[in-house]
Amino acid sequence: MDGTRYDVAVLGGGPAGAGLALALRRSTDLRVALFERSTSERFHLGETLPPDSRRLLAQLGVWDAFARQGHLRSMGSCSRWGTSSLAYNDHLRSPWGTGWHLDRARFDGMLADEALRQGADVRTGTAVTGWQPLEGGGYRLFLPVEGDAPRAFVDARFVVDATGRSAVFATSRGARRHTMDRTHGVCGTLPLQPGRGVDALSLVEACEDGWWYSARMPGDQVVFGLMGDRDSLHGLTPKDPEAWRARMAHAPETRQRLEACDFSGASLRAVSANVACLDRLHGEDWLAVGDAACTFDPLSSQGTSQALRSAHQSADAVSRSLQGDTAALRLHEVRVRHQFQEHLRIREGYYRLERRWSGAPYWRNRQQSPAPLPFAAAPNPLSVEKDA
């Protein structure tokens, strides 16, 4: 039995969860616990931070720690989308400098270490196995025990769900995930052949089945993936790499890039990349953040930077809520809804640019009217905050 009482318990140690725990400890004296069930590295498709993420890292107070990690610099991106020619988007004119291709295991570990250094109770390899509301507010969170030991628990005034797409806490409290677009892919990493290299640009290449992504990663690795949907990738499985390589014949830029890689022993995996959101982001003494709240299309390459942005915004909302601001969580939800709607609007424009395979299943599915949002259109958050 533990019985420790915290002000905030954060479930999930990815960038959104660890970043929020860190932000709370830097700006408040709240007692914060961070629970992350995993201790092993998880696969992430081409994690890249854009140059302006330096501002987010500086706000969290971790820019120096991040810079010392030596992540691989990203010089920008190129794409073959809507045309047979390559278009380039480099970082030469960015006032923030270059972006970075991340070693996500090291990056997540750095954020957790910094949260610990700021006074958060960081518990990795610890899965919260259940919870129950407490009289007077907050939750009792149950922890794993061995043998016949008494059931271990901690109490928290407030719970943050940063458990990613599963949103296990929020959905247990009645929230439901609504999917706007069902996207999945077959992805993996390949080592470079000795003496070979690829440039530091991310590559996106549209094809009849969907679109390919590839990028140089730390450790002389290249991450790659073919993103599509159930119709366009029917029959394609991670256990059949030859079928996957055969489809690469229709993506000449990707095929040329991956010629520098060693395909022997290639290990592929299926990944889900649905564009989705919860129908409610908060409730009695809880808030969903990061991918638990909503997931963006991987085409936007905003996964990690959006998680860091969510950490900043959510920490402020949680702190204000615990100080008695009854509107803080509602206004935060309005802001997140507005950002998600803007993402959907911009995303629709990008997919409409590609007309070369308008009759193919993947692109025909993208041209259809999107699924309706499970909530009313969110107004501009600035006008809502002014009215409040």
Domain holding 243, by residue range, is 181-272
Q: DSSP assignment of 254-285, as one string?
A: HHHHHTTB--TT-EEEEEE--EEEES-SEETT
Q: Is residue 249 one of the residues assigned to a domain?
A: yes
pLDDT attached to residue 260 = 93
For residues 32 and 10, give the distance between their C-alpha atoms in angstroms, rounded to a whole number. Answer: 8
Q: What is the CATH number of the domain that holds 220?
A: 3.30.9.100
- Does the pLDDT value for residue 2 go beyond 90? no
- Does the pLDDT value for residue 362 go beyond 60? yes
For residues 314 and 122, give the distance between their C-alpha atoms in angstroms, rounded to a whole number. Answer: 19
pLDDT attached to residue 200 = 83
What's the number of domains the chain is made of?
Answer: 1
pLDDT attached to residue 98 = 84
End-to-end CA distance of the chain: 44
pLDDT attached to residue 268 = 84
How far is residue 85 from each of residues 252, 275, 298, 305, measured CA to CA in Å? Answer: 11, 28, 22, 29
pLDDT attached to residue 254 = 94
pLDDT attached to residue 302 = 81
CB 21 within 8 Å of CB 162: no
pLDDT attached to residue 381 = 61
Residue 116 CB neighbours (<10 A): 18
pLDDT attached to residue 244 = 81
Q: Is residue 199 one of the residues assigned to a domain?
A: yes
For residues 302 and 219, give the distance between their C-alpha atoms in angstroms, rounded to a whole number. Answer: 22
- Does the pLDDT value for residue 383 go beyond 80? no
**Which conformational region is residue 76 in: left (phi greater than 0), alpha (psi within -120 to 50 degrees), or beta?**
left
Q: Is residue 192 one of the residues assigned to a domain?
A: yes
Percent of the chain with pLDDT over 70: 91
Q: Is residue 289 one of the residues assigned to a domain?
A: no
Q: Is residue 221 one of the residues assigned to a domain?
A: yes
Each residue's pLDDT tens digit, 62-102: 999 999 999 988 888 999 999 999 998 887 677 778 888 88
Residue bearing the bigger pLDDT, 314 or 372? 314
Arithmetic mean of pLDDT over the chain: 89
Tell me what the mean pLDDT of segment 257-276 comes to.
87
CB 156 within 8 Å of CB 8: yes
Q: Is residue 334 one of the residues assigned to a domain?
A: no
How far is residue 81 from each of residues 96, 117, 228, 353, measured CA to CA in Å? Answer: 26, 45, 15, 8
**Side chain identity at residue 133, one-letter code:** P
